[in-house]
């Protein structure tokens, strides 16, 4: 599934408050702009948050924010919350991909979530035996004849292959791999 433009679950930049609610299948999000808030803290742009299944919170934003949100992609037994500031991560060179630096956000036996920085004018290839998702945070890349600018999202299925060319300014991406082989169909709820 390709979304060269913003996918439909991006938040808007409006001040808002929501009722307290429980995430039966878990929730993860990356704050792209503004400040997200709940009773656990304030999360400025660059914050990565995982609220595991059965977690509860009262979300909002006094000044407004833009989020990339994913629901129902957790192991339903997972109870590990994560709150990371992606702006403070330490990146290391990817051993098998020249021009790529990686900083982990979360990893377990089902999935890996990380930030990646791709150097300008680099070609990046990656086999995806278990599929993968890529969100362009800044910069741009070309893949499959399409241009992916900031806030563009790309999902490649299991056995897929990423073959991307990075733009002249490089790019930073949120990347999630391994999880697509484990997707569970959620029961119908109000989430």
Mean pLDDT for the stretch of residues 113-130: 96
pTM beyond 0.75, yes or no: yes
pLDDT at 10: 52
pLDDT at 30: 96
Residue 69 has pLDDT above 90, yes or no: yes
* CATH class as words, domain 8-86: mainly beta
CATH 3.40.50.800 for the 88-180 domain, yes or no: no
Residue 8 has pLDDT above 90, yes or no: no
Q: In which band, very low, low, confident or very high, does the pLDDT at 129 lie, cut at 50, 70 and 90?
A: very high
On the question of a common fold for 8-86 and 88-180, the answer reads yes
Burial class (CB in 10 A: 0-12, 13-18, 19+), 189: exposed
Domain boundaries, the chain: 8-86, 88-180
Mean pLDDT of the chain: 88
Burial class (CB in 10 A: 0-12, 13-18, 19+), 186: middle
Q: In which band, very low, low, confident or very high, does the pLDDT at 74 lie, cut at 50, 70 and 90?
A: confident
Q: Compute how many other C-beta atoms are within 10 angstroms of the C-beta atom of residue 187.
A: 9
């Amino acid at each position: 599934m390709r979304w060269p433009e913003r996918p439909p679950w991006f938040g808007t930049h409006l001040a808002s408050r929501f009722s307290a609610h429980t995430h039966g299948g878990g929730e993860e999000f990356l704050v792209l702009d503004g400040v997200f808030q709940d009773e656990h803290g304030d999360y400025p742009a660059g914050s990565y948050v995982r609220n595991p299944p059965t977690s509860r919170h009262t979300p909002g934003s006094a000044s407004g924010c833009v989020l990339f949100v994913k629901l129902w992609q957790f192991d339903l037994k997972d109870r590990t919350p994560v709150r990371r500031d992606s702006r403070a991560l330490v990146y290391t060179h990817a051993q098998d991909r020249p021009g790529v630096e990686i900083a982990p956000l979360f990893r377990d036996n089902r999935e890996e979530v990380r930030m990646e920085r791709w150097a300008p004018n680099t070609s990046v290839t990656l086999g995806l035996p278990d599929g993968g998702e890529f969100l362009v945070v800044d910069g741009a890349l070309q893949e499959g004849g399409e241009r992916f600018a900031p806030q563009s999202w790309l999902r490649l299925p299991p056995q897929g292959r990423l073959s991307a060319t990075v733009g002249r300014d490089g790019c930073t991406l949120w990347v999630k791999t391994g999880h697509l082989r484990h997707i569970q169909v959620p029961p119908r709820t109000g989430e």
